């Protein structure tokens, strides 16, 4: 399978390492022979139709901060030109999420689907702003659009709800979908001020470059959009979510919750009336949803099977790379079926 990688940050590098270290078992178990034929970052590109040398690619990126130096004889072209001119089966979109215009990810995904490439996105921006129309475009072009890594990192939240609960009617769900705010709220529950907890989260590298994405609930809202479309069949985008972040959560709010045997958590919720909200909410300490630190958790309530909670790490390079690999294996399976 020929792959174009858009972006070569932590997740894409982890994915490339994963492919490199799993070459043999991916072929023997899944018949999967992935070849990265094109990659670009903000400073340059590398491409080779016979497949790039992944060890060399990762080494060059570490040394020079870009893939540009992979082979000096490669003519430097734009990401758009790579997508337009290099033949590939799958495009993997890993550039940073933004919720203003979702670019450049949006254009990458649209161009690839028009070229009949399957797409795996870990970039939430395009899905948050245009999930319904991107799905229509995928159907129109008869390609698959997958995005397991956008919600829950490596924790298979979307798979669980879509596949393990197949045949069930999910009535509602609520989840902690942003690890950074969970970490800050956990620290506050242990006595830290908001400012100190934020500083600590920043020092550990948890906070997005644009802190507003975490603190004002945009990241959690983007994940809620994806869940609502994929799991509940709602055709919604970011403006449909009522959202409130954690900036106004005070030490008093946290203490009051503790008096009630609860903790304040930033909860993304789809209730029984299918109202979609992101907001700080008191959750009972003994509720399985009430996880601490950077963990994510989500409880699905279904018509017949009751409530189940899935808990796991919601971010991280190798974790998210493992979700990309799951999508790739799925795509390969679907292709060989037809
Ligand atoms: N900023 C996100 C979080 C990263 O803290 O959960 C994963 O989407």
- Ligand 1 midpoint to CA 81 (Å): 30
Counting atoms of ligand 1 from 1, which one is nearest the CA of 223?
8
3-class DSSP state for residue 67? coil
- Residue 152 Cβ inside 6 Å of ligand 1? The answer reads no
Which pLDDT score is estimated for 107? 98
Residues 105-133: pLDDT tens digits? 999 999 999 999 999 999 999 999 999 99
Any idea which residue has 């954690």 for tokens?
A: 246
Residues 257-299: pLDDT tens digits? 999 999 999 999 999 999 999 999 999 999 999 999 999 999 9
Give the percent of the chain with pLDDT over 90: 99
- Residue 208 Cβ inside 6 Å of ligand 1? The answer reads yes
Which pLDDT score is estimated for 88? 98
Calculate helix-pair angle for 179-189, 251-259, nearest 10 degrees. 70
Between CA 46 and CA 36 the distance in angstroms is 10
Please state whether the peptide bond connecting residue 246 to the residue before it is cis, i.e. omega within 30 degrees of 0.
no
Query: Would you list the domain boundaries of the chain?
Result: 2-153+318-337, 157-313
Residues 150-176: pLDDT tens digits? 999 999 999 999 999 999 999 999 999
The model's pTM is 0.97
Q: How confident is the model at residue 8 (pLDDT cuts 50, 70, 90)?
A: very high
- Ligand 1 midpoint to CA 230 (Å): 19
- Residue 284 CA, chain-centre distance (Å), reads 28
- Residue 245 Cβ inside 6 Å of ligand 1? The answer reads no
- Ligand 1 midpoint to CA 163 (Å): 24
Pocket perturbation via mutation, ligand 1, pick of 99, 207, 315 by most ligand atoms within 8 A of CB: 315
CA-nearest residue for atom 7, ligand 1, is 315
| DSSP collapsed to 3 states, 148-198 | HHHCCCCCCHHHHHHHHCCCCCEEEEEEECCHHHHHHHHHHHCCCCHHHHH
Q: CB within 8 A of 295, min separation 6: which ones?
A: 176, 179, 182, 311, 312, 313, 314
CA-nearest residue for atom 2, ligand 1, is 178
Which pLDDT score is estimated for 265? 98
pLDDT over 80 at 38, yes or no: yes
Which is the CATH superfamily of the domain at 157-313? Answer: Dihydrodipicolinate Reductase; domain 2 (3.30.360.10)
- Residue 214 Cβ inside 6 Å of ligand 1? The answer reads yes
H or E element, residue 200:
helix 194-203
Task: Give the pairing type, strands 2-6 and 35-41.
Answer: parallel
Which residues have a catalytic role annotated? 223
Which pLDDT score is estimated for 233? 96
- Residue 154 Cβ inside 6 Å of ligand 1? The answer reads no
- Residue 315 Cβ inside 6 Å of ligand 1? The answer reads yes
H or E element, residue 229:
helix 218-232
Which pLDDT score is estimated for 337? 86
Residues 73-101: pLDDT tens digits? 999 999 999 999 999 999 999 999 999 99
- Ligand 1 midpoint to CA 247 (Å): 16
For 48, 72, 79, 119, the CA distances from 111, given in Å and listed in that order, are: 20, 27, 11, 10
- Ligand 1 midpoint to CA 29 (Å): 31
Architecture of domain 2-153+318-337: 3-Layer(aba) Sandwich (3.40)
In CATH terms, are 2-153+318-337 and 157-313 the same topology?
A: no
Residues 134-152: pLDDT tens digits? 999 999 999 999 999 999 9
- Contact (Cβ atoms closer than 8 angstroms) between residue 322 and residue 154: yes
């Amino acid at each position: 399978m020929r792959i174009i990688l858009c972006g070569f940050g932590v997740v894409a590098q982890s994915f490339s390492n994963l492919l490199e270290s799993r070459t043999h078992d991916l072929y023997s178990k899944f018949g999967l022979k992935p070849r990265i034929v094109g990659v670009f970052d903000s400073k340059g590109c590398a491409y080779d139709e016979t497949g790039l040398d992944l060890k060399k690619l990762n080494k060059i990126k570490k040394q020079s901060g870009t893939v540009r130096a992979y082979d000096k004889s490669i003519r430097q072209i734009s990401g758009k030109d790579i997508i337009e001119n290099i033949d590939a089966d799958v495009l993997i979109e890993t550039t940073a999420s933004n919720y203003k215009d979702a670019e450049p990810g949006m254009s990458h995904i649209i161009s690839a689907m028009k070229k009949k490439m399957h797409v795996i996105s870990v970039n939430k921006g395009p899905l948050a702003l245009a999930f319904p129309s991107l799905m229509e475009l995928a159907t129109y072009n008869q390609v698959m659009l997958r995005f397991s890594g956008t919600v829950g990192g490596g924790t298979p939240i979307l798979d669980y709800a879509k596949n393990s609960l197949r045949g069930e009617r999910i009535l509602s769900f609520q989840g902690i979908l942003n690890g950074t705010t969970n970490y800050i709220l956990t620290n506050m529950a242990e006595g830290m001020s908001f400012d100190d907890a934020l500083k600590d989260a920043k020092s550990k590298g948890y906070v997005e470059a644009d802190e507003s994405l975490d603190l004002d609930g945009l990241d959690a809202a983007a994940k809620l959009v994806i869940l609502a479309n994929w799991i509940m069949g709602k055709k919604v985008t970011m403006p449909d979510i009522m959202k409130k972040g954690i900036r106004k959560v005070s030490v008093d709010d946290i203490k009051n919750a503790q008096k009630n045997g609860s903790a304040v958590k930033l909860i993304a919720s789809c209730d029984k009336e299918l109202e979609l909200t992101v907001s700080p909410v008191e959750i009972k300490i003994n509720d399985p949803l009430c996880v601490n630190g950077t963990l994510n958790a989500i409880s699905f309530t279904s018509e017949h099977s009751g409530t189940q909670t899935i808990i796991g790490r919601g971010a991280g390079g190798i974790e998210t790379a493992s979700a990309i690999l799951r999508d790739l294996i799925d795509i390969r399976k679907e292709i060989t079926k037809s």
